[in-house]
Amino acid sequence: MRTFDVPLQEVYMTAYLQEKMPADPEDYRLPAIVVYPGGGYQHLSPREEEPIAMEFAAAGYQVFVLYYSLAPKRYPAPLLDGARALAAIREHAEEWCVDPARIAVCGFSAGGHAAALLGCLWNDPVIAAAGISNEKARPDAVILGYPVITSEKGKCHEGSFESLLGEAVEEKRGAMSLETRVNAQNPPTFLWHTAADQAVPVVSSLRMAAALAEHKVPFELHVFPSGHHGLSLANRRTSGGNPDGELPEVAQWIKLCKDWLQRTL
């Protein structure tokens, strides 16, 4: 595996690439996944970076971890970061052995919001205005783990929207409630959450799923009854030594997701 950083203007992504072997066909290409770690648009969680990348790499994907814009940067910076990331991957598809028609984004918590932004708004004029091709920015699939979606007060992770929007939070929060931005051009989406999540209530995933259903966008939703926020892989590697972070019933999400990806990408 080859690992290196890719600059994207003011941010970067780390590539975890499986290189072509002598026995591989001349047109050897793999699907790709761009991972958005969570952290409330304030920081990025290491538990949702390399551990997630290694899981998908082991399943045969070229993986990129995106270190997207955080506060004090504001919207649309994270949207443009994702657009630049997908455009760069498609522009280097031959060099990086990527199938440009099979690129997914995978986000957790506030990273789920950033990934869902791209899923909802890949064809927004703000992307074209930044000199990025809308078509090159489109994800072919979206994976959301305990995502921040709704911005409704009392039902959202308020800190994420304050960090994303700053002083404009009250003016712009409605536009960042992504269940209202779903449309028929959203890519197929996989969601998982726990019903017991106190930091980002499960209503975010439920509303996103309902919006996808309304617009006839294919989706798969898994809600596990137990487990706190930020479980990542829900196993020993990502538990941080906390037994409450090891939940085998939740850890099955990654297999469910890989199975879904095989059917979807």
pLDDT tens digit sequence for 96-110 = 999 999 999 999 999
Pairwise CA distance, residues 243 & 113, whole Å: 27
Query: What was the pLDDT predicted at 19?
Result: 85
Query: What was the pLDDT predicted at 28?
Result: 84
Query: What was the pLDDT predicted at 13?
Result: 98
**Is the Cβ–Cβ distance between 251 and 234 less than 8 Å?**
yes
Report the pLDDT averaged over residues 198-216.
98
In 3D, which of 79, 108, 125 has the Cα closest to residue 253?
108
Pairwise CA distance, residues 114 & 36, whole Å: 7
User: 138-165: per-residue pLDDT in tens?
Assistant: 999 999 999 999 999 999 999 999 999 9
* Summary mean pLDDT of the chain: 97
Q: What is the CATH number of the domain that holds 182?
A: 3.40.50.1820
Q: Confidence class of residue 213 from pLDDT cuts 50, 70 and 90?
A: very high
Query: What was the pLDDT predicted at 26?
Result: 74
Q: Confidence class of residue 24 from pLDDT cuts 50, 70 and 90?
A: confident
Q: Is the pLDDT of residue 22 over 90?
A: no
Angle CA 223–64–215, to nearest 5: 45
Pairwise CA distance, residues 163 & 66, whole Å: 18
pTM of the predicted structure, to 2 decimals: 0.97
How many folded domains does the chain comprise?
1
**Is the Cβ–Cβ distance between 84 and 118 less than 8 Å?**
no
Q: Confidence class of residue 25 from pLDDT cuts 50, 70 and 90?
A: confident
Residue-number span of the structural domain to which 187 is assigned: 2-264
Strand 30-36 to 98-108 pairing: parallel
Q: Cα 22 to the chain's mean position, in Å? A: 33
Report the pLDDT averaged over residues 10-36.
90
Tokens of 62: 């070229």
In 3D, which of 25, 21, 111 has the Cα closest to residue 70?
111
